[in-house]
Amino acid sequence: MGILFLLVLLAPCSTPAGTAKVPQVDHPIVKPHVYSKHGRCVNCGMKLNMWARTRHSFTLTDGEYHVCSIHCVADLTLQKQQPPKDVQVALYLEPETMIKADQAWYLVNSSATGTMSAVSKIAFASEEAARAFAANYGGTIMSFTEALNKANEEL
């Protein structure tokens, strides 16, 4: 009975958003290239190169930060009680490329695996790219500010 209860309890965690299929994208990246010279997320300790598809970098008054996800951006800025500046985000399908987060299009709650959150928040360079991904994998397109607000709501 205990195993059945556990399976029923965990089943909702394994279903993708809506009825969208799960993308065949290596996330976390099991054998990553070197996407970042910074080893680990300064907030949660996860390896940045494994989680390169959702990594962010930003500055606060006390320096530059490199994190694995927008969730960790939200968490650190809450801890430090200041908004992030000069935020860069990796593109989900091109993790070697980082762009200014305020120019990115975030896809929130697609069937892609989330990082530090059950609700995925992944970045694209164009609205067209985000829409094309959403057509197959669901989700809602948002700006960086909207995605960061969503991450803050989940803390």
SS3 at position 139 = coil
Confirm if 72 and 116 have CB atoms less than 8 A apart.
yes
Average pLDDT over residues 133-155: 98
Which of the 8 DSSP states describes residue 128?
H
pLDDT digits (tens, 9 = 90+) for 94-133: 999 999 999 999 999 999 999 999 999 999 999 999 999 9
Query: Which own/partner pairs from 1-10 qualify as long-range (CB within 8 Å, at least 24 positions apart)?
Result: none
pLDDT digits (tens, 9 = 90+) for 21-46: 888 888 999 888 899 999 999 999 99
What secondary structure does DSSP assign to 15-59, as a single string? SPSTTPPPP---SS-SS-----S--B-TTT--BTTTTGGG-EEEE
Hey, what are 4's tokens? Answer: 């059945």
SS3 at position 85 = strand
**Alpha-carbon span 84 to 60, nearest angstrom:** 6
Backbone torsions φ then ψ of 7, nearest 5 degrees: -65, -40
**pLDDT in the model for residue 26:** 86
First-to-final CA distance of the chain = 33
Closest CA to 117 of 144, 152, 78: 152
